[in-house]
Chains A and B, each alone.
Chain A
Amino acid sequence: MLDDLRNGTSPKGHPPELSRDEELHAYREMLLIRRFEEKAGQLYGMGQIGGFCHLYIGQEAVVVGMQMTVREGDQVITAYRDHGHMLVCGMDPKGVMAELTGRRGGYSRGKGGSMHMFSVEKNFYGGHGIVGAQVPLGTGLAFANKYRGNGNVSLTYYGDGAANQGQVYEAFNMAELWKLPVVYVVENNKYGMGTSINRASALTNLSQRGASFNIPGRQVDGMDVRAVKEAGEEAVAWARSGKGPYILEMLTYRYRGHSMSDPAKYRSKEEVDKMRHEHDPIEMVRQRLIASRRATEDDLKAVDKEIRAIVNEAADFAQTDPEPDVTELYTNVVR
């Protein structure tokens, strides 16, 4: 796996360094996701969050790096492991957390839950519970961009498990055929639930899955926010310039179980620990900031404190906001 990651680093060698502001921005955004997810895990443990809850811990560099490459108007769509995507789109942590607890102040008024949240204002199009379905949907967002000629790009995320759904390839075909402005970001965290990619995929290099449609692709070290940003810029520029879709395979890792209930028998503790300790996306940025003296421990502590306050506020809101009014049962069925 570590070899995988090494192969996945930018073909152009060491990814370009970020500016101090970018580095600090990435640190803050990733930390917000990490702390938010930890809090969600705790609220789940307390019975405040029901059903499924898929945490993004470990994968933070992917969405943070990608979001650094887009502009206002570009859309994001993903599956159910969506909290990080929403936070980087600028959605309010309070509204996201309150949706997790099924309260009226949640983004979907408590009617969507962890897996189904949207914000038209922030161009976040969900939040989808059916593995792979978001790939044609995201391609449709790109179709609308091209139809309107608005120059926007759709970032369509899916997992290594989803990569084996037939509809993904139906979408690839149309996207290339019609040169739609879409960047497919496959978050290869090595597992679809408990099935490792090697046990599910005949061709494990998912960046090459567009080859038969002539869609270019790259493997990227998805634990390194610099590498993600560099690859993202190339892919987004490609799509925006009218050349059609691009596939970015992000080699990443989730530290936590698939959902909250996870047998944890399909991979070794050592494997998880190794990734946590040697490739943690946040720790790497932290160390660079300190080593380069771009920030002091105190600077970072202050960021920590600010994030903690945001997350605590979100958690408090999510636990005190009332459940939806019962009259909401029959609202929003049709418009």
Chain B
Amino acid sequence: MATQVLMPALSPTMEEGKLAKWVKAEGDEVRSGDVIAEIETDKATMEVEAVDEGKIGKILIPAGTEGVRVNTPIAIIVADGEEAGASLNRAGKTNGAHAPADAATGGGEAARASVDVRVKDAREDAAPAAWDAASEIPEGTELVQITMREALRDAMAEEMRRDDDVFVMGEEVAEYQGAYKITQGLLDEFGARRVVDTPITEAGFAGLGVGAAFAGLRPIVEFMTFNFAMQAIDHIINSAAKTHYMSGGQIDCPIVFRGPNGAAARVGAQHSQEYSAWYAHVPGLKVIAPSTAADAKGLLKAAIRDPNPVVFLENEILYGIAGPVPKGDDWLVPIGKAKIARPGKDVTIVSWSRGMVYALDAAKQLEAEGIDAEVIDLRTLRPLDIDTVLASVRKTNRIVTVEEAWPVCSVGSEIVAQVVAKAFDYLDAPPTKVSGEDVPMPYAANLEKLALPNADRVVEAVKAVCYKG
């Protein structure tokens, strides 16, 4: 049977090239894999290999020809004893053999047109049903007053007792008991096999943790702070977030990356950054940023049990703040559900993590001035519970977002964009963001204060959208 040799493409964008040289002549015997010709573009050269065994029956394009279109037949290989002339007709058939493949590509084009519609559907499907956070804690539940630090530690300890695959690793998590004492006592209870002090090697241990998760373990990787996770962000995104998708669902990556995020106090720009938007941007990750001890415990336990990679953003300033937490080891908070922290009717304030301190403080001040603010604690940033926000805005017709992060491309920006797109007709004032200033964090006490949001700025923004004061 005769086979056509076609002008190959060196890259998906190549349309034509030069047939630089024939290495074989008409009549030469060739074996599969033998180089028969060389082609060139301005960028690259490539050898053309025989696609089959046989004899070069005919060379169709002479050496030195420029501008040979991709997929043009350049030679014919015939089986021994076959006539080159006779094979030409058959060669036409060979061409036809590519038709199904072309059709497949065509199908792709047609399919693409319908993707837009489906994308929308998929997103709406994924939207969570309205969540009644008030019912999270059943009536009569016994509560204990503990700090967020203790809540986080208890969450890890309980999950480690429950599942031997859960372990914690990071810098100073074991013998030192945690740089911020979050892992206090874990080494004593679980030993060095499961509470692992690492060298100072963020890219290394983040990658190692992801590999262990691929193999089915459930690592909790502590970053001393998220500022240092930038050393490891390649593994968080390229290795952890994308592999489930890239493997067609075969590989799971049940890992939690946790540690303090956001501005600390008087440590300067490299140790004071808020990373919510960085991770919330990434499909394949879940991103959590609690503001209370109860949510911290319930969400960290949910994160450890979740089969996906979770970025769990804590806040150093909140570690020492105590709050009521349901007693016992079965307290879980669902990922992806916002909470109405304070119901109100005049304006919606949306925040998370430390921003909630400013938001709730502002709501109290506003109450004194006759403005009844509804405060929503997002708790999870991805998937974002936009439905809870929209339902509130449809009621209050005004929204202010509060975050410590830089304002450009922030989580607040995303919320505003979605509110404008999905509740435009309900708005009585432009949605407004309160954020950190667009500068690296300054060291000087007065400048640092200026760079961060505060309750007064939230009050001001709320009054502006309420057209008061």
CA distance A174 to B196 in the complex (A): 11
Residue of A109, A137, A257 touching B214 (CB-CB under 8 A): A137
- Distance between Cα atoms of A167 and B10 in the complex (Å): 33
Does A327 interact with chain B (Cβ within 8 Å)? yes
- Knowing A130-B234, A264-B45, A326-B111 touch, does A50 contact B286 (C-beta < 8 A)? no
Q: Are A136 and B249 in contact (CB under 8 A)?
A: no
Query: Which of B198, B215, B243, B252 counts the most chain A CB atoms within 10 A?
Result: B215
Partner of A323, one of B107, B198, B243, B286: B107
Across the interface, do A136 and B206 meet the contact criterion of CB distance under 8 Å? yes
Q: Are A174 and B199 in contact (CB under 8 A)?
A: yes
Residue of B nearest to A172 (CB): B204
Answer yes or no: A111 CB below 8 A from chain B CBs.
yes
A209 to B33, CA, bound (A): 36
| Pair A47/B12 contact, Cβ less than 8 Å | yes
Distance in Å: Cβ of B114 to nearest Cβ of chain A: 6
Q: Is the CB of B203 within 8 A of A166?
A: yes
Kindly supply a per-residue 1/0 record for chain B positions 192-220, scoring 1 wherever the CB is within 8 Å of any chain A CB and 0 otherwise: 01000011010111111111111111000
Task: Report which of A112, A138, A334 forms a contact with B308, defined as CB distance below 8 A.
Answer: A334
A128 is an interface residue with CB less than 8 A from chain B? yes
With a cutoff of 8 Å between Cβ atoms, the chain B residues found around residue A256 in the complex are: 47
B239 contacts which chain A residues (CB < 8 A)? 128, 130, 133, 137
Contact between A140 and B213 (Cβ–Cβ < 8 Å)? yes
- Taking a contact as CB atoms under 8 Å apart, the answer to whether A136 and B199 are in contact is no
A139–B46 CA distance with the chains assembled, in angstroms: 37
**Would you list which residues of chain B between 85 and 113 have a CB under 8 Å from chain A?**
98, 100-101, 104-105, 107-108, 111-112
Q: Is the CB of A138 within 8 A of B211?
A: yes
Judged by a CB distance under 8 angstroms, whether A238 is at the interface is no
Across the two chains, which residue of chain A brings its CB closest to B242? A116
| Of A46, A48, A127, A138, most B-chain CB atoms within 10 Å | A46
Determine whether the beta carbon of B211 is less than 8 Å from that of A136: yes
Q: With CB as the reference atom, state the residue of chain A lying closest to B283.
A: A333
CA distance in complex: A332, B234 (Å): 20
Partner of B204, one of A47, A171, A333: A171
What is the predominant secondary structure among interface residues of chain B facing chain A? mixed
Interface residues of B in 104-127 (CB under 8 A from A): 104-105, 107-108, 111-112, 114-115, 118-119, 122, 126
The reply to whether A170 and B204 contact each other, CB–CB distance below 8 Å, is yes
- A335 and B251 CA atoms in complex are apart in Å by 10
Q: Judge if A62 is at the interface, Cβ distance under 8 Å.
A: no
CB contact under 8 A between A42 and B49, given known A147-B193, A330-B119, A332-B244:
yes
- In-complex Cβ contact of B238 among A42, A103, A130, A335 (8 A): A130
Instruction: Report the nearest B residue to A255, measured CB to CB.
Output: B47
Interface string of A2-46 (1 = CB under 8 A from B): 000000000000000000000000000000001100100110111
Question: Contact between A118 and B100 (Cβ–Cβ < 8 Å)?
Answer: no
Output the least CB separation between A39 and chain B (Å).
8
List of A residues within 8 angstroms of B207 by Cβ: 133, 135-137, 139-140, 167, 170-171
| Min CB–CB distance A119 → chain B (angstroms) | 7
Q: Give chain A residues whose Cβ lies under 8 Å from the Cβ of B217.
A: 143-144, 147-148
* Alpha-carbon gap, A145 to B210, bound state (A): 14
Residue A263 CB within 8 A of the other chain = yes
- Shortest C-beta distance, A82 to chain B (Å), equals 12
Q: Is B81 an interface position by the 8 A CB rule?
A: no
A99 to chain B, nearest CB (A): 9
For B446, list chain A residues within 8 Å (CB): none
- CB neighbours (8 Å) of A50 from chain B are 12
Asked whether A41 and B49 contact (CB < 8 A) given A263-B43, A334-B286, the answer is yes
Would you give the shortest CB distance from B3 to chain A, in whole angstroms?
11
Q: Are A112 and B211 in contact (CB under 8 A)?
A: no
- How far, in whole Å, are A171 and B101 apart by their CA atoms in the complex? 44
Chain A CB within 8 A of B48 CB: yes
CB <8 Å contact, A126 and B243: yes
Contacting B at CB under 8 A, from A120-153, are 120, 125-130, 133, 135-145, 147-148
A202 within 8 A of B: no
Cβ contact within 8 Å between A334 and B115: no
B372 to chain A minimum Cβ distance, whole angstroms, is 37
In the complex, the chain B residue whose C-beta lies closest to that of A146 is B193
Q: At the interface, yes or no: A195 with Cβ under 8 Å from chain B?
A: no
Q: Identify which of A34, A45, A319 gathers the most chain B CB atoms within 10 Å of its CB.
A: A45
Of the residues B7, B111, B214, B245, contact of A332 by C-beta under 8 Å = B245
Chain B contacts for A142, CB-based, 8 A: 211
Contact of A42 among B8, B104, B215, B235 (CB under 8 A): B8
Q: Say how far A151's CB is from chain B's closest CB, in angstroms.
A: 14
Taking a contact as CB atoms under 8 Å apart, the answer to whether A174 and B208 are in contact is yes
Name the residue among A111, A126, A137, A327 with the largest chain B CB count within 10 angstroms.
Answer: A137
- A130–chain B nearest beta-carbon distance, Å: 5
> When the two chains form their complex, are residues B246 and A111 in contact, meaning their CB atoms are under 8 A apart?
yes
Q: Is B9 an interface residue (CB 8 A)?
A: yes
How far is B47's CA from A174's CA once the two chains are assembled, in angstroms? 44
Could you say which of B43, B199, B247 contacts A108, with CB atoms under 8 Å apart?
B247
Specify which of A45, A48, A145, A166 is in contact with B101 (CB 8 Å cutoff).
A48
Check A326/B115 contact, CB under 8 A, given A144-B211, A263-B43. yes
B229 CB → nearest A CB, Å? 14
Please tell me if the beta carbons of A323 and B104 are within 8 angstroms of each other in the complex: yes
Chain A hits for B307, CB < 8 A: 335
Given contacts A47-B12, A118-B247, A257-B46, 14 further A-B contacts (CB under 8 A): A48-B101, A109-B248, A125-B214, A136-B203, A142-B211, A144-B215, A147-B212, A171-B208, A322-B107, A323-B104, A323-B107, A326-B118, A334-B284, A335-B249
**29 pairs, A vs B, C-beta closer than 8 Å:** A45-B9, A45-B48, A46-B101, A47-B12, A47-B71, A75-B215, A107-B248, A110-B248, A112-B246, A116-B243, A125-B211, A126-B247, A126-B251, A136-B203, A136-B211, A139-B211, A148-B217, A170-B199, A171-B204, A261-B14, A263-B43, A319-B101, A326-B112, A326-B114, A330-B126, A332-B245, A334-B284, A334-B286, A335-B244
Leading 6 A-B pairs by shortest Cβ distance = A140-B211, A45-B8, A136-B207, A170-B204, A109-B248, A144-B215
